[in-house]
Amino acid sequence: MKLIRFGEFRQEKPGILLDSGARKDLSDAFSDWDSDFFDNDGLAKLADIVASRGDELPDAPADARLGSCVARPYKVICIGLNYEEHARESGLEIPPEPIVFFKATNTVVGPYDNVTIPRNGEKTDWEVELGVIIGKAASYLASGEAAADHIAGYCISHDVSERAFQLERGGQWVKGKSCDTFNPLGPFMATPDELADPMNLAMSLDVNGVRKQSGNTSTMIFDVCELIRYLSQFFTLEPGDVLTTGTPSGVGLGMNPPEFLSVGDVVELAVEGLGSQRQTCVAAE
């Protein structure tokens, strides 16, 4: 299944995207694709509805804005330097353990919403990533294999970064990662059965039509299940939490000379099997 949310910002309704491309409205059956939904066997209930009367569900407006594919999560957990070539371009060693940081949840927006370059932002950068949505609570998992049962689905995650805030203002990554609009998610969340192998997905990012990033999830240092197992040793992953798993090489910071986003730039992202995103950069008011 492919879960979407549609409507105005913070007023989105839950829906699904059929293989035909039709959008269907599920707001009569569910309040949102949120923690309560995932924690109460919502995906199984949704699957029953889709199987029994998918084509008969009411249509969602074809021209409605698409919001983040899941509701604002409790946590957005991010992994740094999870692709060897990205670590190399950053001038850093391959990490022996996952590098973990958080983005504030106010960063989560829709896949086609504008990205706001913050006031005093000088080095706003792009990062295409595979996003993972947690389906049920995970704590002290014994193995990576056990982690697979805790995955609700996958989506594109754009981990936008303001490098000056991140690296030049006291070493606190969260400051450069948590500006408003800095984590577009979607356009849909694909349940695991939609992907043959989430650890073999091509991914790309273009700025103004020029390819900047091209990679594959197969080159992650720590794969998705190992990341979930590892994180569960330190804190509970809760239903609806978002894990964004790192970016391949080609970020602006790693270029010679470095390149960063400006007002008016258009960023387009794609991950195999998970659709595409498109954002225009605007100035903060």
Task: Look at residue 54 in the predicted model and tell me its pLDDT.
Answer: 79
Token readout for 12 is 């989105």
All CATH 3.90.850.10 domain ranges in the chain, comma separated? 76-283
Contacts with 228 (C-beta within 8 Å, 6 or more apart), sequence order: 132, 134, 138, 141, 144, 147, 150, 151, 237, 243
Per-residue pLDDT tens for 228-276?
A: 999 999 999 999 999 999 999 999 999 999 999 999 999 999 999 999 9
**Please, which pLDDT band fits residue 94 given cuts at 50, 70 and 90?**
confident
**Please, which pLDDT band fits residue 84 given cuts at 50, 70 and 90?**
confident
Task: Look at residue 88 in the predicted model and tell me its pLDDT.
Answer: 78
The half-sphere exposure of 226 on its side-chain side, counting CA atoms within 13 A, is 10
**Please, which pLDDT band fits residue 170 given cuts at 50, 70 and 90?**
confident
Contact call for residues 5 and 13 (beta carbons, < 8 A): yes
Instruction: Give the percent of the chain with pLDDT over 70.
Output: 100
pLDDT for residue 86 is more than 90: no
Per-residue pLDDT tens for 2-37?
A: 999 999 999 999 999 999 999 999 999 999 999 999
Contacts with 6 (C-beta within 8 Å, 6 or more apart), sequence order: 12, 13, 15, 23, 25, 60, 61, 64, 65, 66, 67
What span, in angstroms and rounded, lies between the C-alpha atoms of 83 and 19? 32
What span, in angstroms and rounded, lies between the C-alpha atoms of 132 and 189? 9
pLDDT for residue 190 is more than 90: yes
Contact call for residues 232 and 251 (beta carbons, < 8 A): no
Amino acid letter, 170: G
The half-sphere exposure of 60 on its side-chain side, counting CA atoms within 13 A, is 26
Task: Look at residue 240 in the predicted model and tell me its pLDDT.
Answer: 98
CB atoms inside a 10 Å sphere around CB 15: 29
β-pairing, 2-6 vs 189-190, is: antiparallel
What is the CATH architecture assignment of 76-283?
Alpha-Beta Complex (3.90)
Per-residue pLDDT tens for 37-81?
A: 999 999 999 999 999 987 899 999 999 999 999 999 999 999 999
Instruction: Give the percent of the chain with pLDDT over 90.
Output: 92
Helices (H) and strands (E) in the chain, counts: 7, 18
Sign of CA dihedral 246, 204, 242, 174: positive
Task: State phi, psi for 56 to the nearest 5 degrees.
Answer: -90, -5
Collapse the DSSP code of 76 into the 3-class scheme (helix H, G, I; strand E, B; otherwise coil) and give the result.
Answer: strand
Contact call for residues 229 and 73 (beta carbons, < 8 A): no
Collapse the DSSP code of 205 into the 3-class scheme (helix H, G, I; strand E, B; otherwise coil) and give the result.
Answer: strand
Per-residue pLDDT tens for 200-209?
A: 999 999 999 9
Task: Look at residue 93 in the predicted model and tell me its pLDDT.
Answer: 82
Reported pTM: 0.96
Average pLDDT for the chain: 96
What average pLDDT does this structure show over 188-213?
A: 98
